[in-house]
Chains A and B, each alone.
Chain A
Amino acid sequence: MTTFVFRNQTVEAFLGYDDVTYSGYDDISMIPSEVDRYIWFYQVSVNADSAQLAQEIQSYSDKLDIVLSGIDSNKPFVIFSLVNLFSVRLTGDETAVGQAIAAFNNHASALAVSHPNVKWVDFTEFTSRYDADTLVNWKYYLLSQTLLNPKLARDFHAWWRRLEGELALQRKKCLILDLDNTLWGGVLGEDGIDGIKLGGDYPGKAFSYWQRSILQLARNGVILAVCSKNNEADVDEAWRQNPFMVLKREHFSSLRINWQDKATNIREIATELNIGLDSMVFVDDNPTERELIKQMLPQVEVPDFPDKPYELMPFFKLLVEKYFRIYAVTSEDRAKTEQYRANAMRKAEQSHFADLESYLYSLDMQLDIIPADEHNLSRISQMTQKTNQFNLTTRRYTEADVHQHLDQGWRVYCMSVSDRFGDNGITAAIFLEPVDDTTINIDSLLLSCRILGKGIEEAFIKTIFNLLRLDGYRQLTADFLPTAKNGQTADFYDRMGMSCDHTDDAGAKHYTMALSNMFEIKNYYNIRVL
């Protein structure tokens, strides 16, 4: 990468010679176009006439504008802030130079907001490490026009290398937060809503400041998520009832408040928000959890968490500087948080519930198991033709075939499924072929994809098992015949407690099971056998 540096002093010792070329001193008449990057690195001149010096500094802003309008807006332009390395104030109220420097710095940092290619570097991050006598070496200044002490060149190189890395970094998009001892002091499950440390005196005060700071990140386009081992209902109550809570449910675009391992949760958050793991930062007070994420998800950034609540302030500064410093904020960025949240809600109705079971309860599912008859026969036939994924044997039957099987004494059932969101209609079917008085074979079993994920397939088959047992059957056989599409059912019968007697070369699995007991079925399904 080649760099062109606009400068008013000799800064070669700092920015180097390799692939770097320099303007004349305070010379913007020539702006080369064939370089990859531009740097503006001016020093405050030495001039005992402070009014004149202030005027000179004011002219830098105009020159900066001219340069900016003359370069390719796709090329990075790094602007160093001006630092007054050596000031002689003849009178106590002499402020012109200081004001001119501040005005230039305000102007330059505003350019960084309005121009995506402009990055503003606060040079005091470097100079504030040294005292005035170390910063300036008058001998070298007078020999070669370099006020900044060349003996600091080595330190400067190290600092600049790190900063260049940060400038090139993609800003992170999402901050994932733990709750207990991270967003507030104490453990909600033990200390209670009013026992956690938040607000009031120290240490609660530190957590309040921390939450307010994070809220500002969210307002500037950083997506917030929660990943916490807690009972979601407890957290919800704390969000609603603790008067000091700044960050509440509505500020988080994705929530994983459960007892599942955090690596799985973070992967889910990434999927839900549709952003890469490499744009996430995970903050947790527990070193074990941090280590787990570092090991399992090395793409996620995992900073160390401060030991003391009063260290949260510098920790926030570190988070901003390292991961979230925003060089340009668009209104789109600010709206992003809201969009992500809405999408996440649509995607995951589950996230409103403490666990899957209460979700399933809330669905108010009605399963009607209906023997095949004239009314549903064409639908059953159609399902055998169309269902590919949840279909154990993928046998296709015409209406005439179904008729014929019924005439041969087969038992054919279908199932109609509805819940509080609507009626899915007939979405499952099973074909059972009697082998003898006590043995029956499952010829076909299929469910429509749209009802999967709620355990309905298990409730369906176990209800059928129970029906068969009540009708005197004691032995069951079944097959799984693999296709390109039905991989998800390969171990379905195993999970239902059947034993696989043999698997043939083509991958087909043959099962048997004794119908010796009735099966228990979860009570969040209302099941009717018609």
Chain B
Amino acid sequence: MTIEEKVLEIMREVFDMDEISTDASQKNCERWDSLHHLTLASELEDAFDIELEPEEIAEMTDFSRVVALLAAKVK
């Protein structure tokens, strides 16, 4: 499973949505509010076995940034 696929799966679960597109961002996705954002961060930390810094969590404003951040961390 690629990082993209894994992130999409976690987002679907956290936001409780059947489908989510790779265009998703805090601006265009209603469920992606500040509370769900933290849950998302927490789930990503567990799934990829990493620690996200508060600054990094703040930067994860859309799907592509999340993937880019994780790609850099996981390496």
- Which residues in A have some Cβ–Cβ distance to B below 8 Å? 10, 12-13, 139-140, 142-144, 146, 150-151, 153
Interface segment out of the listed B3-11, B22-30, B35-43, B63-71: B35-43
* B35 and A139 contact, CB distance less than 8 A: no
B 1-19 contacts with A by CB, 8 A:
none
Separation in Å of the A276 CB from the closest CB of chain B?
40
Residue on B nearest A137 in the bound complex, by CB:
B42
Residue on B nearest A18 in the bound complex, by CB:
B16
Separation in Å of the A10 CB from the closest CB of chain B?
7
* A142 and B54 contact, CB distance less than 8 A: yes
* A144 and B42 contact, CB distance less than 8 A: no
Separation in Å of the B35 CB from the closest CB of chain A?
5
* A143 and B38 contact, CB distance less than 8 A: yes
* B35 and A144 contact, CB distance less than 8 A: yes
Q: Tell me the bound Cα distance from A150 to B39 in angstroms.
A: 7
* A153 and B38 contact, CB distance less than 8 A: no
Q: Which 3 A-B pairs have the closest CB atoms?
A: A150-B42, A12-B35, A144-B38
B21 at interface by CB-CB < 8 Å: no
Other than A140-B38, A143-B38, A151-B46, give 10 A-B pairs with Cβ distance below 8 A.
A12-B35, A13-B35, A139-B53, A139-B54, A140-B42, A143-B54, A144-B35, A144-B38, A150-B39, A153-B39
* A150 and B46 contact, CB distance less than 8 A: no
Residues of B near A142 (CB, < 8 A) are 54
Residues of B near A13 (CB, < 8 A) are 35, 38-39
Residues of B near A150 (CB, < 8 A) are 38-39, 42
- Which residues in B have some Cβ–Cβ distance to A below 8 Å? 34-35, 38-39, 42, 45-46, 53-54, 57
16 contacts between A and B (CB under 8 A): A10-B35, A13-B35, A139-B53, A139-B54, A140-B38, A140-B42, A143-B38, A143-B54, A143-B57, A144-B34, A144-B38, A146-B38, A150-B42, A151-B42, A151-B45, A151-B46
Separation in Å of the B31 CB from the closest CB of chain A?
9
Q: Tell me the bound Cα distance from A151 to B42 in angstroms.
A: 6
Residues of B near A151 (CB, < 8 A) are 42, 45-46
Q: Tell me the bound Cα distance from A312 to B34 in angstroms.
A: 49
Residues of A near B53 (CB, < 8 A) are 139
Residue on B nearest A151 in the bound complex, by CB:
B42
Scoring A13, A139, A142 by chain B CB atoms within 10 A of each residue's CB, the highest score goes to A139
Q: Tell me the bound Cα distance from A140 to B43 in angstroms.
A: 13
Separation in Å of the A102 CB from the closest CB of chain B?
31
Residues of A near B38 (CB, < 8 A) are 13, 140, 143-144, 146, 150
Separation in Å of the B45 CB from the closest CB of chain A?
8
Residue on B nearest A10 in the bound complex, by CB:
B35
Residue on B nearest A150 in the bound complex, by CB:
B42
Q: Tell me the bound Cα distance from A10 to B38 in angstroms.
A: 11
Q: Tell me the bound Cα distance from A12 to B31 in angstroms.
A: 14
Q: Tell me the bound Cα distance from A150 to B38 in angstroms.
A: 8
Q: Tell me the bound Cα distance from A142 to B38 in angstroms.
A: 11
Q: Tell me the bound Cα distance from A150 to B57 in angstroms.
A: 14
Q: Tell me the bound Cα distance from A143 to B38 in angstroms.
A: 8
Residues of B near A10 (CB, < 8 A) are 35
Separation in Å of the A332 CB from the closest CB of chain B?
46
Separation in Å of the B26 CB from the closest CB of chain A?
14
Q: Tell me the bound Cα distance from A140 to B42 in angstroms.
A: 9
Scoring A142, A150, A153 by chain B CB atoms within 10 A of each residue's CB, the highest score goes to A150
